[in-house]
């Protein structure tokens, strides 16, 4: 079982709460459709809120390449987001320019490691806004 698989299992077993390194962080699970495989992919990501949007960064730990999930949302922006015990359909929008910069600053203010991630790579780390297409049921 990969590290992500363990996080996903713990997330789902505990209504979105995980311990260890990620304890106290705002985590969501992003379900995408593989751009090449067509298979469902699930990635745990930290997020911040921007109004009603969930904002995530395609940081891949500061690597010089984008994470696979980013290519998936480029190819198929219709995604499913799991937050807490809820899951809902959402649309992924890749932000640009000053909006991207402001949202990345928000992420880095909450999670300081994002500052180092951006400083450690020549690529501009994409920021993706996830907006529910239907309100989650309560």
Map out the domains of the chain as residue ranges. 3-132
Going from the first residue of the chain to its last (138 residues), give the mean pLDDT of each consecutive group of 10, the final group possibly shorter.
Answer: 83 90 92 94 96 97 96 97 96 98 97 95 97 71
- Give yes or no for a contact between 131 and 90, defined as CB atoms under 8 angstroms apart: yes
Q: State the number of CA atoms in the 13 A half-sphere of 14 facing the CB.
A: 13
Asked whether the beta carbons of 79 and 99 are under 8 A apart, the reply is no
Contact 100, 127 (CB under 8 A): yes
The tens digit of pLDDT for each residue in 99-136 reads 999 999 999 999 999 999 999 999 999 999 999 996 55
**Complete DSSP assignment for 27-38:** EEEEEEE-TTT-
Say what the pTM is.
Answer: 0.92
Q: Tell me which of 3.30.9.10, 2.30.110.10, 3.30.70.20, 2.30.29.30 is the CATH number of domain 3-132.
A: 2.30.110.10
Tokens of 92: 């992924």
CA distances (Å), 131 to each of 14, 94, 102, 120, 124, in order?
24, 11, 17, 29, 22
């Amino acid at each position: 079982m990969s590290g992500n698989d363990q996080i996903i299992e713990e997330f789902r077993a505990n209504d979105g709460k995980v311990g260890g390194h990620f304890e106290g962080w705002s985590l969501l699970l992003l379900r995408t459709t593989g751009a090449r495989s067509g298979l469902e992919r699930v990635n745990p990501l930290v997020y911040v809120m921007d109004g009603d949007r969930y904002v995530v960064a395609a940081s891949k730990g500061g690597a010089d390449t984008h994470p696979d999930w980013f290519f998936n949302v480029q190819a198929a922006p219709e995604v499913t987001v799991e937050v807490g015990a809820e899951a809902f359909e959402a649309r992924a929008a890749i932000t640009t320019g000053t909006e991207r910069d402001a949202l990345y600053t928000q992420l880095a203010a909450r999670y300081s490691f994002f500052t180092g991630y951006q400083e450690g790579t020549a690529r501009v780390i994409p920021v993706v806004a996830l907006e529910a297409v239907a309100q989650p049921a309560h």
